[in-house]
Amino acid sequence: MSRLERVKALREAAKERILILDGAWGAMIQRKGLEEEDFRGSRFATHNSALKGNNDILCLTRPDVIRELHGEYYAAGADISETNTFSSTVIAQDDYSLGAKDVQDINFEGAKIAREAAAEWTKKTPEKPRFVAGSIGPLNKMLSMSSDVNDPGARSVTFDEVYDAYVMQIRALNEGGVDLYLIETITDTLNCKAALKAISDLEAEGMDKLPIWISGTITDRSGRTLSGQTVEAFWNSVRHSKPFAIGLNCALGASLMRPHIADLARVSDTLVAAYPNAGLPNAFGEYEETPEQTSAMLKEWAESGLVNMLGGCCGTTPDHISAIAAAADGVAPRQISERPRAMRLAGLEPFELA
């Protein structure tokens, strides 16, 4: 199946059923009990910085582990699995003293591994094709917030630097064979806009055009992103990109995320997606919500007509994804409705002029 055919199949599948995304990667990698040598491999055997904990580099040093995890999630019922590239930009990987070539290779190989796993599972069950989302995560530096509490105008990175970092990542993901882009765990809308501009500019240069899934993060009970926007303001800020899907992930469990997903379902004219944490972490940083608990809440979302795509974030496992897939099975996806034409703008709050 060509990529054009896969994208068409993805869009058709989204009309027919609620699509299922995979779950957490960090927790699953931790379960493997990997050591520093696994993260270094032969390529980074003499690297001058510790690498344990840099999960993305396993695309180069332990591709077998990453391929196995994709398979576990596809076997659990996921339609879509993310590439293991959440932190694969030159800005984030600078923490590990890795350079541009390393970052390009992580993204390309991460996409290639996921693509091979998806092809294998599609061959097994052609009636349920599997897809690959290129994971484009948040940066450890923000454009909308000061890097110095004593200087509101201070920034540790420029827009051009963020844009260039995303251009590198997105080009490599595209070349590696992803079917869509997932700009996820967005805490800073301006960083997200840099990624959207990178995609747009690369497409203008002739790169394959792929669907875009945008997933923000509400950081606490305030109902706002870390950079201060409400859900509706966030949507107004990114809707110009005409994304395939808009949604939320991370930070909150399903019970706390529900009202914000309901807000998105009310205002957006595209697919709505959600992949919450398995509750909130306990005092030891562990997620205790069971697959049955998480899936019961997400089933209610589905039956209430709020979502088109579901999955899991921190603390979720293949067991959670299996339970979510079973809960959503046979439930009709949310129907997209058109909103009346109006000028809709946003700062921290939405502004609408009919």
Beta bridge partners of 183: 136, 214
Using DSSP's 3-state secondary structure scheme, residue 350 falls into: strand
Q: Enter the DSSP assignment of 208.
A: P
**Among candidates 189, 196, 172, which has minimal Cα distance to 89?**
172
Q: Are 294 and 312 in contact (CB under 8 A)?
A: yes
- Which residue matches tokens 């960090």? 26
Q: Are 272 and 333 in contact (CB under 8 A)?
A: no
Round to whole Å and give the CA distance between 310 and 60. Answer: 29
Q: Are 194 and 163 in contact (CB under 8 A)?
A: yes
| Sequential pLDDT tens for the chain (354 residues) | 899 999 999 999 999 999 999 999 999 999 999 999 999 999 999 999 999 999 999 999 999 999 999 999 999 999 999 999 999 999 999 999 999 999 999 999 999 999 999 999 999 999 999 999 999 999 999 999 888 889 988 999 999 999 999 999 999 999 999 999 999 999 999 999 999 999 999 999 999 999 999 999 998 888 999 989 999 999 999 999 999 999 999 999 999 999 999 999 999 999 999 999 999 999 888 999 999 999 999 999 999 999 999 999 999 999 999 999 999 999 999 999 888 899 999 999 999 987
At residue 147, what are phi and psi to the nearest 5 degrees?
-90, 5
How many Å is the maximal CA-CA distance in the chain? 62
Round to whole Å and give the CA distance between 144 and 138. Answer: 13
Q: Is 59 annotated as a binding residue?
A: no
Using DSSP's 3-state secondary structure scheme, residue 29 falls into: helix
Using DSSP's 3-state secondary structure scheme, residue 186 falls into: strand
For the chain, which residues make up each domain, given as ranges? 3-334
Round to whole Å and give the CA distance between 272 and 302. Answer: 11
Q: Which CATH superfamily is domain 3-334 in?
A: Homocysteine-binding-like domain (3.20.20.330)
Task: Pull the structure tokens for residue 300.
Answer: 């209610």
Using DSSP's 3-state secondary structure scheme, residue 187 falls into: coil
- Which residue matches tokens 């003293």? 97
Task: Pull the structure tokens for residue 71.
Answer: 């398979």
Round to whole Å and give the CA distance between 303 and 297. Answer: 10
